[in-house]
Copies of this chain bind each other. A is one copy, B any other.
Amino acid sequence: MASIYQSLKEEAFEANMQIPAQHLAIYTWGNVSAFDKSKSVFAIKPSGVPYPELSVENMVVVDLDGKKIEGSLNPSSDTLTHCVLYREFAVKDGIEMRGIVHTHSTYAVAWAQAMRPIPLFGTTHADHVQTEIPCTPYLSEEMVKKNYELETGNAIVQHFCNLKYNPAEVNMVLVGGHGPFAWGKTPSYAVYNAAVLEEVSKMASITLQVNPGATPLPEYIIDKHYLRKHGPNAYYGQ
């Protein structure tokens, strides 16, 4: 008999397979989850399993406290970070957010290691996000010792709160010293955002190399690019 989470696990599996396809991680260094708000559960990659060994069947279903609901393997060690983001952003803030992805993509990690938010240098960035890509400070020693993965989620939420960023609009972040998280309306769109972040990270590093004094794009161009793709008057696409 098919699992009642069958389609959720299928979505999680397909989105996880996009990580190697889009060159966003080597070996096992990334994970995607697929969230079902009505059931308060998400399906996520099992921990430490290489992408070629993934299947719909070995996706793990957990609830919003990270408790395993279905599956024989351990869920991703980052599961509690996903829990916090779904609880705070999708449930509490009511944002349409059915997928979260974490990778160790090369250029995004480099910016996270540099502890620098990614400046908004151009329209490739502005097409997707109207702000710098935020970078959280290091977690405190207390947070790391208490519950590292859960506090990683809290650090993201707190940083968005401090910056007054709306996670429905800013759907990617660098965890300082660690790497990128991204999310989206669907798991597949979350991976798209992770790929955007990697490309924007690479473009920004080359921009700085070519012109160390490069300045951000003017606000009125940012708004134009963002709004032609997003919001009620968007006219990009079909």
Chain A residues within CB distance 8 Å of chain B: 22, 26-27, 29, 46-49, 73-74, 77, 104, 106-107, 109-116, 121-124, 138-139, 141, 144-145, 148, 177-179, 192, 195, 199, 202-211, 214-215, 217-218, 220-221, 224, 228, 235-238
A214 B141 Cβ-Cβ under 8 A: no
Q: Which among B203, B210, B218 is the interface contact of A141 at CB below 8 angstroms? A: B218
Q: Which among B116, B148, B218 is the interface contact of A224 at CB below 8 angstroms? A: B148
Bound Cα distance A22, B74 (Å): 27
Give the number of times this chain occurs in the complex, counting copies. Answer: 4
Bound Cα distance A197, B203 (Å): 15
Bound Cα distance A74, B237 (Å): 7
Bound Cα distance A121, B178 (Å): 9
Bound Cα distance A195, B209 (Å): 21
A192 B144 Cβ-Cβ under 8 A: no
Residues in B neighbouring A179, C-beta threshold 8 A:
122-124
A-B contact pairs, 9 of them (CB 8 A): A47-B238, A106-B206, A109-B122, A114-B210, A123-B179, A141-B220, A145-B220, A148-B224, A205-B210
Residues in B neighbouring A111, C-beta threshold 8 A:
207, 210
Shortest C-beta distance, A155 to chain B (Å), equals 12
Residues in B neighbouring A218, C-beta threshold 8 A:
138, 141, 177
Residues in B neighbouring A207, C-beta threshold 8 A:
110-111, 113-114
A221 B139 Cβ-Cβ under 8 A: yes
Bound Cα distance A115, B208 (Å): 11
Task: For A219, give the chain B residue with the smallest CB separation.
Answer: B141
B236 A106 Cβ-Cβ under 8 A: no
Bound Cα distance A218, B177 (Å): 9
Bound Cα distance A209, B201 (Å): 12
Extra contacts besides A121-B177, A144-B221 (15): CB < 8 Å: A26-B195, A29-B124, A48-B236, A49-B238, A74-B235, A74-B237, A109-B203, A110-B207, A110-B210, A113-B214, A114-B121, A122-B179, A138-B218, A141-B218, A205-B206
A211 B115 Cβ-Cβ under 8 A: yes
Residues in B neighbouring A208, C-beta threshold 8 A:
209-210
Shortest C-beta distance, A217 to chain B (Å), equals 5
Task: For A214, give the chain B residue with the smallest CB separation.
Answer: B114
Q: Which among B29, B77, B139, B238 is the interface contact of A73 at CB below 8 angstroms? A: B238
